Amino acid sequence: MSPVFNTLALSCILCFSTVCLVLTDLAAATYACTNLTATLGTKNVLESGAQYSITANGTWSLFNSLDQPTCIVYPASTAHVQTAMTAIYETGSKYAVIAGGHSGMVGYNSITNGVLISFEMMQNVSYDASLDLVTVQPGVHWGNAINYLQSFGVAVLGGRAADVGTGLLLGGGISFLAPEYGWSADSLKEADVVLVDGSLITATATNQYHDLFRALKGGVNRFGIVTRYVLYPVHTGTAADKNWYSGLIVVVPGSLSAAVSNASAAFVRENIDPKASMMVIMNTLNLTAPDANIAYLFYHGASLPESIFGAFFSLPSTFRSLSPLSYADIAAIVDGSARGNGQQFGAAAFLGDEATFLEGYNHLVNFTTHYESQFAASFMVISPVPRSQWTVGKARGGNAIGDHECGHDFYPLYAAGVLAVLDDVSAGFDLLLSQVQTNSGLPLFINECDVSQNVFSTYPGYSTLKRTYAKYDPTRFVFLPSFVPLLTLYSSFSVRNTVGPVGL
């Protein structure tokens, strides 16, 4: 132990001020980083330099790029992750994990005065045709995985944006294949998981870790770090197989926003064809922008049926691109890789008529108009979660999430130069979320939640998650403020770590 560390540790033992707590975090992280550099080497552990800066500053949300880890660990294998977690656990260091880095929640893939584990060196994808299984490492972005697998005629149930990483699986995950093939998490066959103390287990639906396996499918990385995913693929065809008729419509802005919302509500309520999917993005701040309203429409077939998508076809548009596409073509439509602005998510679950949807839209308009100087844009994203998606998921053993019908993501994009969410804006966003959660009993989608939302309490299996968490993290090492209710079964709990969902 270095003299500097001894001094910091001693000062913290003798002091209980806020400053002292910060020093304790720094001291623990410094000690962990020193140990990890000695065991893994300077190739896998960096405390500064160009690669360190690229990783620390490369998160999708600018807010998360402002953190500066004490060191960044770049594991090249599961064994390296075990070594990292053992050192973190033994020193009591704070830590965070970054996979794709596509997360709109502050602190979910970054850390200051702690260790950041980055999966940049673990991005392998493989397909075993004899077993019809895909294996991916946690550093993979879904666009890259889908492009690689296309030559085999298969795809993974990943995300809708190419930039999204594998952490999406742990939150459930929605793809354009979801209505027909289930939540992305439902494609999971087995997972290698490094627990908080560095031990490694492989969880499946049928082995002794079946409780952990189910919890991983929607419980995010609250239970450990997944270093290998084995997935059931979907046989989507190769690049030459244009099995989908898909694309987008950019709707004339302004007064037609209500019509777009109404068309979305009708689709959610009336469509029962699992081959049909859509996503609508409505900009509630720049209402007159040429691309204020975009409808992404998808159908597994030779055309877009008028009976399903007619309401969207009737909307006046400034741009349309609808044609036969391969699944890899579809995966490239929504890139989502733009960085440089602060991002924020908030989840809501709607089920109702056109008035219900429009009310949610108007609440977001009111919020963003009130704080207009803070934002570059502000979106309401409508993501149908049809009954067919649940049917498929239940057939594969179910997941931690429970029933769901339609997810809404309220997504402010902060203006250039805005480095943090102001207190009054945060209070306004909390008010918005309280206004739009109109359907009690529906679970929220954790991949698109705000840190203030207690998503787990909306899951019907909440009590089971509590028991599973207590079993696999008995020392309460992982802690997140929004996860407090999951820890209240203990008489006390630690505030040591603030790990959130991996790479979203």
Q: How far apart are CA 285 and CA 371, in angstroms?
A: 10
The 10s digit of each residue's pLDDT in 324-379 is: 999 999 999 998 889 999 999 999 988 788 998 999 999 999 999 999 999 999 99
- Give me the pLDDT at residue 398, please: 87
* pLDDT band (50, 70, 90) for residue 290: confident
The owner of tokens 């594969």 is 396
Query: Where in the chain is CATH 3.30.465.10?
Result: 125-237
Q: How far apart are CA 186 and CA 169, in angstroms?
A: 8
- Residues of the chain with pLDDT > 70: what percent? 89
- Give me the pLDDT at residue 437, please: 62
Tell me the pLDDT of the chain averaged across its residues. 87
pLDDT of 200 over the 60 cut: yes
pLDDT of 3 over the 80 cut: no
For residues 213 and 292, the model is more confident at: 213
| CATH number of this structure's domain 125-237, picked from the four choices 3.20.20.70, 3.30.413.10, 3.40.50.720, 3.30.465.10 | 3.30.465.10
Query: Where in the chain is CATH 3.40.462.20?
Result: 244-455
93 by Cβ neighbours in 10 Å (0-12 / 13-18 / 19+) ranks as buried
pLDDT of 214 over the 70 cut: yes
Task: Specify the CATH architecture of the domain 3-118.
Answer: 2-Layer Sandwich (3.30)
- Give me the pLDDT at residue 404, please: 63
Q: Which among 76, 74, 113 is positioned nearest to 91, based on CA atoms?
A: 113
* pLDDT band (50, 70, 90) for residue 438: low
Element (H, E) at 328: helix 327-333
pLDDT of 18 over the 50 cut: no
The 10s digit of each residue's pLDDT in 49-79 is: 999 999 999 999 999 999 999 999 999 999 9
* pLDDT band (50, 70, 90) for residue 19: very low
Looking from the CA of 242 toward its CB, the CA atoms found within 13 Å total: 9
| CATH number of this structure's domain 244-455, picked from the four choices 3.20.20.70, 1.20.1250.20, 3.40.50.740, 3.40.462.20 | 3.40.462.20
Average pLDDT over residues 239-253: 94
Q: How far apart are CA 437 and CA 121, in angstroms?
A: 40
Kindly write down the DSSP assignment for every residue of 471-483, as one continuous string: HH-TT--B--GGG
* pLDDT band (50, 70, 90) for residue 155: very high
* pLDDT band (50, 70, 90) for residue 490: very low
Kindly write down the DSSP assignment for every residue of 342-353, as one continuous string: -B---EEE--S-
Query: Where in the chain is CATH 3.30.43.10?
Result: 3-118
- Give me the pLDDT at residue 241, please: 96
- Give me the pLDDT at residue 466, please: 92
